[in-house]
Amino acid sequence: MEKLTASVQGIYIADQPDTFVSRRISEVQLDFGGIKEDRHFGVTRPADSRQPMYPKGTEILNRRQITIVAEEELALISQEMGIEKLEPEWLGANILLSGIPELTGLTIGSRILFPNGAGLICMGENKPCTLPGAEIQKHYRDEPKLASRFVKAGYKRRGIVCAVECPGEIAAGDEVQLLVNDYADPMQ
């Protein structure tokens, strides 16, 4: 198992009912459902178009409690899109990490451990879509077609979704340890 380290550059919450856009906070308590009052909080959630194997609305396990992005990948996305910067809030991120330039490629089942014992389990890549692209467009009105350009630029760089495996407090500035799951000898 490969071990990596990264640092938490920002913590965010999407707590406004009319938008997925998140706002910066300095620390937060992770519960088994994620971040209380965040739009993705919950141990379960209704199935949607991402789970076509279930009828829409069927209650399923919430694998998308926490969204994590990497500074390095955001810089590559903004560069490819030809914009000055890409803020994590515009993507609805909950955690911004630095030190993991290929975060989106983290294998399912990898763990992210925080200094106080809180732990997340990677549930997979967060696929880019036009919804965050439309938010980016609001900040760069003179740039054409940013919604669709984001989908292309964000491919394999959009970050990951995680579930809380062990509750605890996390804060900006935390140094985290990533335990990379090896499919040949998987962590259980």
HSE, side-chain direction, 13 A CA sphere, residue 45: 16
Q: Which two tokens stand for residue 162?
A: 């995680």
For residue range 115-150, list pLDDT tens digits in order.
Answer: 999 999 999 999 988 899 999 999 999 999 999 999
Could you tell me the pLDDT band of residue 166, with boundaries at 50, 70 and 90?
very high
Phi, psi angles (nearest 5°) of residue 70: -115, 135
Closest CA to 46 of 30, 63, 68: 63
Mean confidence (pLDDT) of the chain:
96
Please give the backbone phi and psi of residue 5, each rounded to the nearest 5 degrees, phi first: -125, 150
For position 168, what pLDDT does the model report? 98
Helix, strand, coil distribution of the chain in percent, nearest 5? 20, 35, 45
* Structure confidence at residue 50 (pLDDT): 87
CA–CA distance, 144 with 76 (Å, rounded to integer): 19
Q: Where are the beta strands (DSSP E) in 38-94?
A: 44-46, 59-61, 66-70
Rounded CA-CA distance 83/81 in Å is: 6
Share of the chain above pLDDT 90, in %: 94
Rounded CA-CA distance 88/94 in Å is: 8
Q: What percent of the chain has pLDDT over 70?
A: 100
Q: What is the pTM of this model?
A: 0.95
Per the CB < 8 A criterion, the answer to whether 171 and 27 are in contact is: yes
23-32: pLDDT as tens digits: 999 999 999 9
Quick one: pLDDT band at residue 176, thresholds 50, 70, 90?
A: very high
- Whole-number Å distance between alpha carbons of 131 and 148: 9
Which tokens hold the place of 37?
């009052």
- The arithmetic mean of pLDDT across residues 40-44, rounded, is 97
Give me 98's structure tokens: 């630095």
For the chain, the straight-line distance linking the first and the last C-alpha, in angstroms and rounded, comes to: 12
